[in-house]
Structure 1
């Protein structure tokens, strides 16, 4: 399967980024140390590493939700200074507005930007695209966790971001729902050509989805290795090439942890 859209926007550059914060006990904690990374337009890339290695910190910096002590981050050669609709963010929990219908949750960004009237038809399109037809008038408590995450994806994508940041959005789902949403993510990525950046603890998920996998060390977070995933799509989790690559990634993680 090949992508139907080849993107020319959505390149990310991370240059010499360091992030230090003060913990609850008043101690300085180095979360990220001298991170350098280039992400190509339309690429699907995953960050993987042990808990506390700075994966989510790096995502928050790209999103503009946080700032580094030193270094710079760029989207299409423009310095990232704050949040922007060009960088959509999907969290581990769906974070939908409980008092709004699924339809209104998806439209929230359009309404905040005051462009809802011009793009009203897009809401129905994204409901269809994410397989939520028939649930437009439902409220978040009336749908499953998997459906709620589909709504979160639709809410982020309807703003037509250059980059979609996925912070373990499938981590709380059961295995069947998780695999179903992995396929939905790939379908959306191939249709739209959006640059996608994923944080995950799941090696198989990273291999199944990504063009490249960034392996990070325990705190302070550094990039241990970047692994190219040169497997044809759709990918077979039981193929010998997939299993071999899984072993390579696990070996990289063990080396990163040893360091």
Structure 2
């Protein structure tokens, strides 16, 4: 197989997977009283330390699946596991970063980052780590600033630091860069890769941006429109750092867009 070639398959299983999703279905009643089938028979293994992305049309169940992994919601049928332990509720082992930073407006950046430690009553023992994560996310000089005093990109850096300081096994990223300008978005993509490589945290990303998925991911999961099912799993074999203008990158983009087009016909 040539350098950067793409291997496509409908299911890939790994030994010692960090996350196992088995036969998951999720339906709910919408605001108009209609029954909505969000997910149907979803099966996937995510290995420890992997960076994986979910792409698909709006409403295909990507965020629903993230909420299930986080323990914020439960499936009608099927099960989800983290390191062989069934996921039944939220836990600090699974950090969640939303599209909006959702920082506490009355707290400084420093105190926002420390919020999880304080909630777990371990702040005193880990107080020194707050400064380490401020440095790691490039927020030096803004420790005493409030959320309204910093840019959207800085607020998202603080949100990442707040999630990472709890040392989660899995970091769930629900379109965290979607509201940012192009330059800030690319800057934070590089910061995500840096954090991922330093920490070895399993990262699961939902995004509508195919280029973002290719730039960041080991694998890309393509989902069908509602009811959300896994249409294909694309393995990205390009050495990092990646160049969006290289032929391998462009070829993968083309194949994913073709797969998304096929998925949307289902």
TM-score normalized with structure 1 length: 0.96
Matched, 1:46 2:53: yes
* Kept in 2: contact 1:10–1:42 (CA 8 A): no
Gaps in structure 2 of 5+ consecutive residues: 1-14
Counterpart for residue 254 of structure 1: 261
Counterpart for residue 156 of structure 1: 163
* Kept in 1: contact 2:214–2:236 (CA 8 A): yes
Residues 72-119 of structure 1: CA deviation (Å, up to 9, x unaligned)? 000000000000000000000000000000000000000000000000
* Kept in 1: contact 2:17–2:45 (CA 8 A): no
State the aligned residue count. Answer: 252
Q: Which one of the candidate residues 120, 132, 136 is aligned to 1:129?
A: 136
CA distance in 2, matches of 1:231, 1:247: 15
Q: Which one of the candidate residues 205, 219, 242 is aligned to 2:212?
A: 205
* Structure-2 change in CA distance of 1:93 and 1:203 (3 Å): same
Counterpart for residue 100 of structure 2: 93
- Offset, 1:26: 1.1
Q: Structure 1 stretches (4+) deviating beyond 3 angstroms? A: none
* Structure-2 change in CA distance of 1:213 and 1:83 (3 Å): same
Counterpart for residue 176 of structure 1: 183
CA distance in 1, matches of 2:153, 2:45: 31
CA distance in 1, matches of 2:53, 2:204: 6
Gaps in structure 1 of 5+ consecutive residues: 1-7
Residues 40-66 of structure 1: CA deviation (Å, up to 9, x unaligned)? 000000000000000000000000000
Secondary structure of the corresponding residue to residue 264 of structure 2? helix
Counterpart for residue 5 of structure 1: none
CA distance in 2, matches of 1:130, 1:31: 35
Matched, 1:240 2:247: yes
Counterpart for residue 216 of structure 1: 223
Counterpart for residue 3 of structure 1: none
Secondary structure of the corresponding residue to residue 103 of structure 2? coil
CA distance in 1, matches of 2:36, 2:97: 26
* Structure-2 change in CA distance of 1:181 and 1:10 (3 Å): farther
CA distance in 2, matches of 1:105, 1:203: 31
- Offset, 1:10: 7.1
CA distance in 2, matches of 1:93, 1:174: 13
Matched, 1:35 2:24: no
Q: Which one of the candidate residues 80, 93, 116 is aligned to 1:109?
A: 116
Secondary structure of the corresponding residue to residue 258 of structure 1? coil
* Structure-2 change in CA distance of 1:141 and 1:9 (3 Å): farther
* Two-structure CA RMSD over aligned residues (Å): 1.0
CA distance in 2, matches of 1:110, 1:103: 12
Counterpart for residue 4 of structure 2: none
- Offset, 1:24: 1.2
TM-score normalized with structure 2 length: 0.94
